[in-house]
């Protein structure tokens, strides 16, 4: 048995040396590995036959098997490493880089048109001496409605379809609640604007369930409608151009009296009449009015001593008019083709 196994081992060695010398690719190297070293390989089969050799002869046969096994393992590893390096060299040689080709341009970000419009609005008012205040987006019914002269049964609540959340709170429908917070903590004179996001159940080409407002408040001795008209006319002319006409129309808001809507000449047609302004030549951009004494009563401001005005505008509305955008939903879709225009 010993002699037969030694002959088989010698034959396996010669055969392996010949085949490993002739391999030309990685697949052939792997085939040789499996043939000799696999679970059913030739060397593995000889190792299993060791149990048939007498204990005295077993060390000699085992030593010969290990010599052949080590030789095959070493040669397979060497060939696999060599061929792997050769594949890398071939791939590198085939990947040519043309250094004369122009490089890819770097895409630069741009300010979002809403961010730009908000910045322009705040810049105009801060230049006129207004300070900037922000407040919570989740409010109580008191701050969002009651303190502004809108009790639970007031019909004006129908003007704003509200998102309610747990605990009797709501997503603010305007930034006017910040006026109440400021008047509660600050004694007149007050001259401030209040930017931020607001929420209403509305969604079409000109309305969004989330949008942005800037509201303003001025409270002091002898504040009049003339002061209101001067401030807002200055804002309109700086925002849309000094030659554009501005007009004030009587209107209604529950927390101001008297109240007015502010219109500007249509930025599309210059006042001659078009589809955007419905042939009127005018576009509404904001609402305003003198602060109702009822509101002063909620915050402890003496309406006999102080008077004030308030106003509010939609930032999306301003941006759509300034940049000739016809669909409010474009602001929130993050389409690069739209954003890259600004």
Cβ 242 vs Cβ 219: under 8 Å: no
pLDDT band, very low/low/confident/very high, at 333 (cuts 50, 70, 90):
confident
Q: Give the lowest-confidence range in 31-40, 195-204, 210-219, 280-289.
A: 31-40
What's the mean pLDDT in 175-179? 94
Q: Give the lowest-confidence range in 137-151, 181-195, 222-236.
A: 137-151
Residue 132, beta-bridge partner list? 193
Question: Which one of 88-92, 157-161, 213-217, 253-257 scores highest in mean pLDDT?
Answer: 213-217
Cβ 26 vs Cβ 80: under 8 Å: yes
- The pLDDT of residue 139 is 93
- The pLDDT of residue 298 is 92
pLDDT band, very low/low/confident/very high, at 72 (cuts 50, 70, 90):
confident
Domain ranges of the chain: 2-94, 113-339
Q: Specify the higher pLDDT residue, 247 or 277.
A: 247
What's the mean pLDDT in 198-216? 84
For residue 132, the surrounding DSSP H or E stretch is: strand 131-132
Q: Give the lowest-confidence range in 103-107, 237-241, 286-290.
A: 103-107
Q: What angle do CA 89, 95, 99 make, to 5 degrees?
A: 125
Q: Which two tokens stand for residue 246?
A: 């501005």
Rounded CA separation 263/250 (Å): 11
Rounded CA separation 282/269 (Å): 9
Q: Specify the higher pLDDT residue, 79 or 296.
A: 296
- The pLDDT of residue 116 is 93
In the chain, the percentage of residues whose pLDDT exceeds 70 is 97
Alpha-carbon distance values, 211 to 118, 137, 206 (Å)? 12, 12, 11
Cβ 174 vs Cβ 313: under 8 Å: no
Q: Give the lowest-confidence range in 30-44, 243-257, 304-318.
A: 30-44
pLDDT band, very low/low/confident/very high, at 272 (cuts 50, 70, 90):
confident
- The pLDDT of residue 21 is 81
Q: Name the phi and psi angles at 296, rounded to 5.
A: -60, -35
For residue 190, the surrounding DSSP H or E stretch is: strand 190-199
Assign a CATH topology to domain 113-339. BirA Bifunctional Protein; domain 2 (3.30.930)
pLDDT band, very low/low/confident/very high, at 312 (cuts 50, 70, 90):
very high
Question: Residue 160 pLDDT more than 70?
Answer: no
Could you tell me the sign of the dihedral formed by the alpha carbons of 203, 206, 210, 215, in that order? Answer: negative
Q: Give the lowest-confidence range in 29-33, 243-247, 303-307.
A: 29-33
Rounded CA separation 128/319 (Å): 21
What's the mean pLDDT in 50-71? 78
Question: Residue 247 pLDDT more than 80?
Answer: yes
Q: Give the lowest-confidence range in 152-166, 184-198, 213-227.
A: 152-166
Q: Specify the higher pLDDT residue, 324 or 2.
A: 324
What's the mean pLDDT in 27-54? 78
Q: Specify the higher pLDDT residue, 252 or 109.
A: 252
Cβ 308 vs Cβ 291: under 8 Å: yes
Rounded CA separation 287/261 (Å): 5
Rounded CA separation 186/235 (Å): 25
- The pLDDT of residue 159 is 60
Average pLDDT over all residues of the chain: 87
What's the mean pLDDT in 138-162? 81
Nearest partner of 213 among 317, 333, 330, 325, judged by Cα: 317
């Amino acid at each position: 048995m010993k002699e037969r196994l030694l002959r088989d081992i010698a034959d396996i060695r010669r055969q392996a040396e010949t085949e490993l010398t002739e391999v030309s690719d990685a697949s052939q190297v792997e085939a040789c590995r499996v043939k000799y070293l696999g679970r059913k390989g030739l060397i593995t089969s000889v190792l299993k036959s060791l149990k048939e050799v007498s204990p005295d002869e077993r060390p000699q046969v085992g030593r010969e098997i290990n010599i052949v096994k080590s030789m095959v393992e070493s040669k397979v590893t060497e060939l696999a490493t060599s061929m792997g390096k050769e594949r890398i060299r071939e791939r590198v040689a085939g990947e040519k880089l043309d250094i004369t080709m122009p490089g890819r341009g770097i895409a630069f970000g741009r300010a979002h048109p809403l961010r730009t419009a908000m910045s322009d609005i705040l810049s105009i008012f801060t230049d006129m001496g207004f300070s900037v205040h922000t407040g919570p987006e989740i409010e109580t019914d008191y701050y969002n409605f009651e303190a502004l002269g809108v009790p639970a049964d007031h019909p004006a609540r129908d003007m704003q379809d509200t998102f309610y959340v747990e605990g009797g709170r709501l997503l603010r429908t305007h930034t006017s609640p910040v006026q109440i917070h400021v008047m509660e903590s600050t004694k007149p004179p007050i001259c401030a604007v209040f930017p931020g996001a607001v929420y209403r159940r509305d969604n079409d080409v000109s309305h969004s369930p989330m949008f942005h407002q800037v509201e303003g408040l001025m409270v002091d001795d002898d504040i009049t409608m003339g002061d209101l008209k001067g401030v807002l006319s200055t804002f309109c002319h700086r925002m849309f151009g000094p030659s554009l006409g501005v007009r004030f129309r009587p209107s209604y808001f529950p927390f101001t009296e008297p109240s007015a809507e502010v219109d500007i000449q249509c930025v599309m047609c210059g006042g001659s009449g078009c589809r955007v302004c419905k042939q009127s030549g005018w576009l509404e951009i904001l609402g305003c009015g003198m602060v109702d004494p009822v509101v002063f009563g909620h915050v402890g401001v003496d309406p006999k001593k102080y008077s004030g005005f308030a106003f509010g505008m939609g930032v999306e509305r301003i941006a759509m008019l300034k940049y000739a955008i016809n669909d409010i939903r474009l602001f929130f879709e993050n389409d690069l083709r739209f954003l890259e225009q600004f």
